Structure 1
Amino acid sequence: MTLSLSGWQKRVLLLLAGIAVLALFALAFTAGRVSAGPSFPSTTSADAGFARDMQVHHNQAVEMSMIVRENVTDETLRAIAYDIALTQQQQAGQMYAWLEEWNLSQSTSQPRMEWMAAGSGEHAGMDMGSGNDGASMLGPDGLMPGMATEEQLDELRAARGEDAERLYLTLMISHHTAGVEMAEAGAELAETDQVRSLATKIQSGQQAEITLMQTMLDAL
């Protein structure tokens, strides 16, 4: 038995077929947009590790700078300390915001510096330790390279005048030296332009401050 369709029935079938084709096209387009969405660094990436560890490193520099401003009268050193505190607080805020944007936690169980151990060549271990994992780069007290101990912070809090100036400059030069090495690794290992850009800025800025602080320390 042959089914005979009228003209309007044929037109309805053609319309329905067209709608089905359009629906399939829209579905494929939507799927393509979802798959092409923003790609963020993983929690074990160098980008995330740099953002977490450099925040901690920066926060101590801010703390030391605010301590010394209260304990010295030398206006040049007070201005340098204020600039370091302001700059590193702002940069720490940037890194905090990145982790929020990437939907990553601000801290993890991953050992500090582990992201640097994953590097290659010059930055594998970054000359901060002879081992090949993050833990080997840390001090016996678990602190990252360049960071002052609680005893040293207490000593800085108690110091006054030139003693405070000398101790601050000594601690901050060591702190910056390690920070520069971390920034070098960040600039090399990071996947995102924003991390590489900030790491390069930190590297050049802190190297210039090391030169200035060493000159002041030598004068003392």
Structure 2
Amino acid sequence: MTRTYWAAGAAVVLAVLFAVGATVATASGGSDSGEASRAPGLYSPDAGFARDMAVHHQQAVEMSFIVRDRTQDEPVRGLAYDIANTQANQRGMLLGWLDMWGLPKVLADEPPMSWMQAAEGGGEHAGHAGHGAAKPGALMPGMATKEDLDRLAAANGRDAEVLYLQLMTDHHKGGVAMAQGCAVQCRTPAERSLAQGMVEAQQSELTLMADMLGKRGAAPRG
């Protein structure tokens, strides 16, 4: 377990270093309009998405590590590894962008998802990225509560597999809505591209998880 957490931490560090270098190159010459060369504002969709999705991803990584210790089922363990690895690296990129822009990773006066609410308030894309409400005890839409995480940590075998797949399905649905919001509203080309990639990858994983739940005689939660 310690080795697994160390490996994930190393992946985040390496991703931050890579993201900073790649984003500098993109910002310095990736857009003739100069849009990419301007650092986003403190409350911009670009910064808000980076902060919120970094938190959202961290919980997905945590849940994936939990289930890898609660089951020996290789398909579920393989999915958990892929999700943890992918989202740890993406989280590193998001945090790297915030560092490069000189922006804080946490804002005490910014409620979660406020950048999406502002985006949905008007304009031609208003309502495109509707994301619903977070359930009581959850920080953002799709995120698990502490009670959910405790239940997952206490489960074993098929019960752990089903609960993980259900929780991660909810998590991906919330993440897809957030990423769709950034794909429309963010101004940084590299971040928009990352967000669109998240949408496509997580939608594919949603289909896979629904199939995996069906094979276990279960279904996504309503």
Q: Under TM normalisation by the shorter chain, which class is it?
A: 0.7 to 0.9
Asked whether 1:184 is paired with 2:180, we answer yes
- Contact in 1 for aligned 2:61/2:84 (Cα 8 Å): yes
Match of 2:127 among 124, 127, 134: 124
- Aligned partner of 1:52 in structure 2 is 51
Asked whether 1:106 is paired with 2:105, we answer yes
Q: CA deviation at 1:142?
A: 5.3
TM-score by length of 2: 0.76
- Aligned partner of 1:147 in structure 2 is 143
**What stretches of structure 2 of length at least 5 have no aligned partner?**
1-35, 217-222
Q: What SS does the corresponding residue of 2:58 show, helix, strand or coil?
A: helix
Instruction: Count matched residues.
Output: 177
- Contact in 1 for aligned 2:134/2:143 (Cα 8 Å): no
Matches within 5 A, 1:48-87: 48-87=47-86
1:141-197 per-residue CA deviation (whole Å, 9 max, x = no partner) reads 351000000000000000000000000000000100111111100100001101100
Amino acid at match of 2:94: M
- Aligned partner of 1:162 in structure 2 is 158
Amino acid at match of 2:95: Y
Asked whether 1:174 is paired with 2:170, we answer yes
Q: CA RMSD in A?
A: 1.6
Q: Tell me which structure has the larger Cα radius of gyration.
A: 1
**What stretches of structure 1 of length at least 5 have no aligned partner?**
1-36, 130-136
> Which has the higher mean CA deviation after the structures are superposed, 50-59 or 139-148?
139-148
- Equivalent-residue separation in structure 1 for 2:130 and 2:41 (angstroms): 25
- Contact in 2 for aligned 1:47/1:191 (Cα 8 Å): yes
TM-score by length of 1: 0.77
- Which one has more relative contact order, counting CA pairs under 8 Å at least 6 apart? 2
